[in-house]
Structure formats: C-alpha cells, structure tokens
Amino acid sequence: MGETTVNSLDDRTTPSSPIGADGRWAWLGARSPRRPRIWFELLLIALSYWVYSLIRNAVPEQKAEALRNADWIWRAEESLGLAFEHAVNHAVNSVTWLIVTMNYYYATLHFVVTIGVLVWLYRGHPGRYAAFRTVIFATTAVALVGYYLYPLAPPRLMENKDFIDTVLVHHTWGSMASGDLKHVSNQYAAMPSMHIGWSLWCGLTIFFLAKVPWARVLGLLYPAATLVVIVATANHFWLDAVGGVICLAFGFLVAYFWYGTWPHRLSKQVEPLTAVEPRASAPAKGAGVAADVRTDADHEERVGSGT
C-alpha cells in the first residue's frame, strides 16, 4: 500500500503522523497547524504575557524561605565544586563597559530577540509557527509552577555573600529585578530561569530552521552568552539555568504530543486544501478473467448467428 495522507481543512495535506501509524499515542489525535492570523497572535501573546506577569508577581514572595533555598543551592554548588557565580560577578563587574553592556543585555534582549524570532517564524515558517509558539507557552506555564513551589532568592539578594547588584552599582535602567522597578516584580522567582528558557528556545529555533551556517552558530551562542550574563549580573545561579532547560524540554514534549512530531519537522508553509480526485477502484480479483470469458462467448454467439 502507498503512503496514506491526511487532508486537513485547517492547513495542508501531509503524510500521516508516524505516531498514529503504529498506534502509539493515537488517542491524542495529532493536530495539524493552522494558518496564523496576525491579530489573533498579537492578542494572544499580549494577553499571555500579562497573565504570566500577573501570576508570577502574585506568588507570595516568602523571603525567608527564598533565602533558605538560596543558601541550599549555594551549598549544593560548593559541594560540586561549581560555585563560580561569585568569582564571575566580581570579575565582570571590574570592567565597567562590559558589565553595563550585560545589564542592558539582561534587561532588553530577553524580550527583543524572543519577539524577533516569533516574527521570523510567522513570516517565514507559518507552518511551524504554531508548534514553536506552543513550546514557549508551555515552557513559561510550567515555570510558573516552579516559582510557586520553590521561591528562590537570586545571588545578589543573599545575605553575607558579598554579591554585587550590578544594576544598582552602575545605575542602569530597564531591569525589573533591581532599582525602582523591583517593587512591581517578584524578587524571589529565580528558579527556573526564563532568560535561559526563552534564549535556548530562540537558539534552537534558529539552529533548526536557519539555512546559513553563521546564523545557526549565532543561534547556539545566544543562550550561552545569556548564561554568562545572568551569572555575571548575579541574577541567577547556574542551577537556575538547568531549571530553565528542563522547562523547555517539557515545552517541546507538549508540542511533540500535540502535533505528532517535532516542530521543526512540520511543513514550512501552510498549504491550502486542494480537492483530491477519487482514485479508480482496482478490479476485484478474477473480475478481469470473467470479463474476458464473457467477451469471447458473446463473439462466438454473434459468429454462430451470422451477425
């Protein structure tokens, strides 16, 4: 038998999902991506970020517990011989232009690059846009659970550890984590790090979909640079980054089960539905032989009757 295809009114004609072919996860019913609508996407993203910020900042700060958890994280890293945040924080802070650049990087690129990648997906990969958007939405949603269950103070707020709050020292703007804006943001929502979760989402999306090698390399360098920034500015432990990676893995799994394949393996374009002509049914076994016998009998009858 040939390869079966599924015709979707939503978007396209595509080979059936391999998940459904052998019965695995068939009960989930893999979805096909719809053609994105700009007004709906803008509204959805704005509403989702508002809800995310509302929930994140509504989580009880629980300062005492957050500081205890920070001490535990610090001791765990020391036991692993990987408590390098303090050294990085002080070393980078000694180079003013570098730490100021990192402060602005932390405050801005988290949003600018993420929105830029979403726009690139919408315009250049509409067939994959919804799946990748599902990844980042699911990643962010599960992070909220982490903020609620595990309040964690960032290194800059730890007591008697001599971490430098680089935003306060260098009077840079834009960060919700320090300065005047800290009063409208939950200061004890460091685990998991969505700077890492979102930047790694951006990096992997670019790596999987970009055609030119240098763009793919930049995609991988972006989350690596973000890791350096969140540690140097004393906004996160490196273990917070591990939490962000775990959340992103969850997001990719949600998209995998929802669409029946990994987002980058979906069709680039959302093709319009085209009418498919029905195939001529194959003759039943033996039908051709019976037809030949009837034809020969008719011919002999006409010859015998002189017609």
Percent of the chain with pLDDT over 70: 71
Q: How far apart are CA 205 and CA 230, in angstroms?
A: 21
CA angle, 78 then 160 then 88, to 5°: 50
SS (H, E, C) 127-139: HHHHHHHHHHHHH
Confidence of residue 181 (pLDDT cuts 50, 70, 90): low
d(CA 60, CA 63): 9
Q: Distance between CA atoms of 264 and 70, rounded to whole angstroms?
A: 37
The answer to whether residues 239 and 11 touch, using CB atoms and an 8 Å cutoff, is: no
- Backbone φ and ψ of 5, nearest 5°: -125, 155
Q: For the beta carbon of residue 63, count every other beta carbon within 10 angstroms.
A: 13
- Tokens (6 digits) for 151: 């309040």
61: pLDDT strictly greater than 90:
no
CA of 181: how far to CAs of 107, 168, 172, 178, in Å?
A: 11, 11, 12, 6
Half-sphere exposure of 8 (CA within 13 A, CB side): 20
pTM for this one? 0.76
- Token readout for 259 is 């669409």
Element (H, E) at 5: strand 5-7
Q: What is the pLDDT of residues 184-231, one digit of tens each?
A: 578 898 999 999 999 999 999 999 999 999 999 999 999 999 999 999
Residue 60: the pLDDT is 72
In the predicted model, what is the mean pLDDT of the chain? 81
Who wins on pLDDT, 286 or 130? 130
99-108 confidence digits (pLDDT tens): 999 999 999 9
Write b or e for each residue in 271-307: b if 16 or more Cβ atoms lie within 10 A of its Cβ, otherwise e.
Answer: eeeeeeeeeeeeeeeeeeeeeeeeeeeeeeeeeeeee
The pLDDT tens digits of the residues spanning 271-291 come to 665 544 455 455 555 544 444
Which two three-digit tokens encode residue 155? 């290194």
